Amino acid sequence: MNRLLKVSNSPHIHAKDSTKKLMYNVIIALIPALIAAIYYFGWGAIIVTLISVLSCVIFEYLIQKYLIRGPVTITDGSAIVTGLLLAFNVPSNLPVLLIIIGALVAIGIGKMSFGGLGNNPFNPALVARVFLLISFPVQMTTWPVPSGFRTENTDAIVETAIASRRNEQSQLQATGDTDIVTGATKAIEQPQQQSKKYTDAVTGATPLGLLKQGLRSGKNVSQIMEQVPSHMQMFYGYKGGSMGEVAALALLIGFVYLLIKKVITWHIPVAIIGSVVIFTTILWLVNPEKNADPLFHILTGGILLGAIFMATDYVTSPMMPAAMILYGIGIGVITVLIRVFGAYPEGVSFAILIMNAFVPLMNAYIKPKRFGEEVKHGKG
Amino acid sequence: MKALKTFPNGGVHPPENKLTAACRIETLPPPESVIIPVAQHPGAPAIPTVKRGDKVLTGQLIAKAAGYFSANIHSSFSGTVSKIDSALDISGYKQTSIFITISGDEWIPETDRSNDLITEIKNTPEEIIQKIQDAGIVGLGGAAFPTHIKLKVPADKKCSLLIINGAECEPYLTSDHRLMLEKGSEIIIGTRIMMKALGVNRAIIAIENNKPDAISLLEELVKGDDDITVQPLKVKYPQGGEKQLIKAITGREVPSGGLPVDVGVVVQNAGTAFAVYEAVQKNKPLIERVVTVSGKSLKRPGNYMARIGTPVSSLIDAGGGLPEDAVKVIGGGPMMGKAISNLQVPVVKGMSGIVVFANGESGRIPYGQCIRCSKCIRVCPMNLEPYLLMTLAEKNLFERMEDEMVTDCMECGSCSYTCPAYRPLLDYIRLGKTTVLKMIREKNMK
């Protein structure tokens, strides 16, 4: 017998699961939302997504190869996920240069500066989004209206959007509001329909933007609701917003896929959505003239995208179910606080980043109850 | 069928691959010589009572237990002691072994070798425990803990339940399954013998429900008796772990660092129950056991009654020889078994199977960063945090590992099995556990 045998410690078999598979499952789960984004925003969505994903992967490659001079791990899919999420978190008409800057911030500052995958305390895509939002508020709050590849059908929607825009602008001029939230409207003095460049898309405010502006200008909620799309339209995605966050239905399909594939557990998304519903219901019941209904809050802005895809990022979220729920409630409550009492119309990104900071603390103090621990303590 | 039970936290479900579930137990042809290690149990090695050139009979005592956790060793064939020397065992280390050149199979006269079933238990509890100790019986599930020690309930503890472990949760292994099917009546009597020794009037035979034939056969055998029942279990690894099995059946948690008897339970393996029957009713010492020989590329996988000391290569030859593509041979199951470095190592009391893996079926993959997916925490049956324990071991923070209860780890391997980054969690946890146990020993000595 002169055959050489391999010797290693047990276990000798491994589940057919890998980081790569998990990442590619997240990518698959993001596809419905990507299709919806392309359907609503046309070429803009395709260009922004491609540039974002490509630059994230290229930056990760360059940094790993030439700066860190370590192994290159771009095939694990995590840079693609970051690229997709970054694209989903920006308007579909964001100029190319800004996307590339965003990707550099996400990968370079958000991820690689901490040591790469597994070491970053904050969600890289959100670091980039918030960086862009603060640095380029005008471009980051200029929301194209969902008009897809511009057919006759969508033209009608565009017409309505333009009309509502004009109407709003005149009102704003009347009230003289100069707050940051109106940067969006300021940027589109003259809505154009005939332009060829994707960055010149027809733009309009998000429902949350309209709500904030409307309340500032003294309108009550029922008046504002006449200007925003119906709940059903918002569920399908007919609303302004970041390209990946508009289609609630598509995001929920992705959620179901992630649950079936056991990539994530229900705890974080349900805690976030649940706490938003509870908090906004209380506000709504107290004063329905000043506060929007809970369903409006769930269907608008980045709640679903954030709850399903951003807050559940393994690296930056807690590990124990109890901590996950606490983390989710924190995100939900901070989001509503920002939306209702803050300067920004939307606060999911900030809420997630703030709660990311508490994750190491939660991991250190919220631990599983060890097997046989209670009995031991009972005796001692 | 009764409602299935299982333990609530953790566990994994590796592919079962019970290729040999339908293979009857065959008797292996005798090899030319056997190598019998004197340490086949966790305690001190037994002390040889024979010397070079001595003639021995099958079943004759050749090494005597040395200390409380030690167990007797008997010759598995009749022949001549050719030498007492160190030899490689399954762990990969050399240890004292008794080499016997076989001349035949002449048994010690007191053993009853007939096939008659002896139902009546004549011995007193003390006699039973003595007979089990004399026969050198150890737990045949894998840990090889001396059986007679488990049957002596400490004066300040009370035992009310005996659990017979027929879970066999390791993939590939079917030795307990076949034994329950073919020696069901003997296992029931063995169970009764241990109940008498423990002074309990209740026993539960726990079997995972991927063995429905064994469950229905044993249910048939205990029909009308209310002292022994059969409990089907949901298939989940590591259900055969003592603490998990007790939790699954009684809902009680053995305290950290404690023993099953602390919650009034004693667990014995189904194979052990058979060995107890043979020792007490037939005066037959533990010199053979059922070994599953399995592997997808093996020509004739099967279950074999193998004498202790038989080289592993004889078993593989019986299975059709080592396949061309074989790269790894495991003593035990794929989750907790040891990789064998040399096929001349002998079969020992605790070896329930030999699994042959072809290239690609087993092997290490370069590992990546922990992405804190928390899957290791979710699968840990002891509710530990394997990701954290590995990080602490990497940084040599052993005091903190002690606080994180690393000593509770039973090395089931569920964490390493699950980790999507292929991190060698259990390797580092073992390092930490060994170091922490050493630290505790040193502290206690001072």
Mean pLDDT over A51-57 rounds to 97
The predicted pLDDT at position A163 comes to 66
Mean pLDDT over A199-225 rounds to 83
Q: With contacts defined as CB-CB under 8 Å, which chain B residues touch A76? A: 368
Q: Does A68 touch chain B (CB under 8 A)?
A: no
For residue B377, give the nearest of A10, A116, A368 by CB distance. Answer: A368
pTM beyond cutoff 0.90: no
- Cα-based angle A136, A137, A139 (whole degrees, multiple of 5): 70
Q: Does B349 touch chain A (CB under 8 A)?
A: no
Digit-coded pLDDT (tens) for B365-417: 889 999 999 999 999 999 999 999 999 999 999 999 999 999 999 999 999 99
Digit-coded pLDDT (tens) for A306-362: 999 999 999 999 999 999 999 999 999 999 999 999 888 889 999 999 999 999 999
Residues A57, A41: Cα–Cα separation, whole Å: 24
Q: Is the pLDDT at B97 greater than 90, yes or no?
A: yes
Residue B198 phi, psi (nearest 5): -85, -20
- Which is it for strands B203-208 and B302-307: parallel, antiparallel or unpaired? unpaired
For residue A9, give the nearest of B258, B344, B427 by CB distance. Answer: B427
Residues 6+ apart with CB under 8 A from B376: B385, B386, B387, B414, B415, B418, B419, B425
- Answer yes or no: do B374 and A319 touch at CB < 8 A: yes
- Answer yes or no: do A5 and B9 touch at CB < 8 A: no
- Answer yes or no: do A116 and B420 touch at CB < 8 A: no
**Confidence bin at A173 (pLDDT 50/70/90):** low
Digit-coded pLDDT (tens) for B136-191: 999 998 788 999 999 999 989 999 999 999 999 999 999 999 999 999 999 999 99
Q: Is the pLDDT at B221 greater than 70, yes or no?
A: yes
Q: Is the pLDDT at A143 greater than 90, yes or no?
A: no
Query: How distant, in Å, are the alpha carbons of A254, A332, A343, A356 from that of A329?
Result: 22, 5, 21, 13
Residues A209, A206: Cα–Cα separation, whole Å: 5
Among all chains, which residue has been given the structure tokens 């070079």? B52
- Answer yes or no: do B416 and A76 touch at CB < 8 A: no
For residue A118, give the nearest of B336, B371, B384 by CB distance. Answer: B371
* Residue pairs spanning A and B at CB distance below 8 A: 168
Q: Is the pLDDT at B344 greater than 80, yes or no?
A: yes
DSSP A175-214: HT---GGGHHHHH-SS--SS--SGGG--B---HHHHHHHH
Q: Does B418 touch chain A (CB under 8 A)?
A: yes
Digit-coded pLDDT (tens) for A254-285: 999 999 999 999 999 999 999 999 999 999 99
Q: Does A373 touch chain B (CB under 8 A)?
A: yes
- Answer yes or no: do A375 and B341 touch at CB < 8 A: no
Digit-coded pLDDT (tens) for B117-138: 999 999 999 999 999 999 999 9
- Answer yes or no: do B417 and A13 touch at CB < 8 A: yes
Residues B137, B180: Cα–Cα separation, whole Å: 18
- Answer yes or no: do A17 and B420 touch at CB < 8 A: yes
The predicted pLDDT at position A206 comes to 85
Q: Is the pLDDT at A107 greater than 60, yes or no?
A: yes
**Packing angle, helices A124-135 and A96-104, rounded to 10:** 130
Digit-coded pLDDT (tens) for B58-94: 999 999 999 889 999 999 999 999 999 999 988 888 9
**Confidence bin at B286 (pLDDT 50/70/90):** very high
For residue A22, give the nearest of B256, B257, B373 by CB distance. Answer: B373
Residues B230, B228: Cα–Cα separation, whole Å: 7
**Confidence bin at A373 (pLDDT 50/70/90):** confident
Q: Is the pLDDT at A189 greater than 90, yes or no?
A: no
The predicted pLDDT at position B67 comes to 87
CB A164, CB A204: distance < 8 Å: yes
Which of B374, B376, B390 should be substituted to probe chain A, the one whose Cβ sees the most A Cβ atoms within 10 Å?
B374
Residues B25, B300: Cα–Cα separation, whole Å: 13
Q: Does A7 touch chain B (CB under 8 A)?
A: yes
- Answer yes or no: do A13 and B343 touch at CB < 8 A: no
What letter would DSSP give residue A144? B
For residue B372, give the nearest of A18, A76, A118 by CB distance. Answer: A118
The predicted pLDDT at position A207 comes to 86
Residues B110, B282: Cα–Cα separation, whole Å: 8
B313 to chain A: nearest residue by CA? A1
Domains of chain B in start order, with CATH, are: 25-111+285-358 (3.10.20.600), 125-282 (3.40.50.11540), 375-445 (no CATH)
The predicted pLDDT at position A204 comes to 76
Which candidate, B214, B181, B171, places its Cα nearest to that of B352? B171
Q: Does A9 touch chain B (CB under 8 A)?
A: yes
- Answer yes or no: do A372 and B340 touch at CB < 8 A: no
Which of B256, B327, B426 should be substituted to probe chain A, the one whose Cβ sees the most A Cβ atoms within 10 Å?
B256
B431 to chain A: nearest residue by CA? A9
- Answer yes or no: do A370 and B383 touch at CB < 8 A: yes
**Confidence bin at A152 (pLDDT 50/70/90):** low
The predicted pLDDT at position A224 comes to 85
How far out from the chain centre does Cα A353 lie? 11
Q: Is the pLDDT at A190 greater than 60, yes or no?
A: no
- Which is it for strands B161-166 and B47-48: parallel, antiparallel or unpaired? unpaired
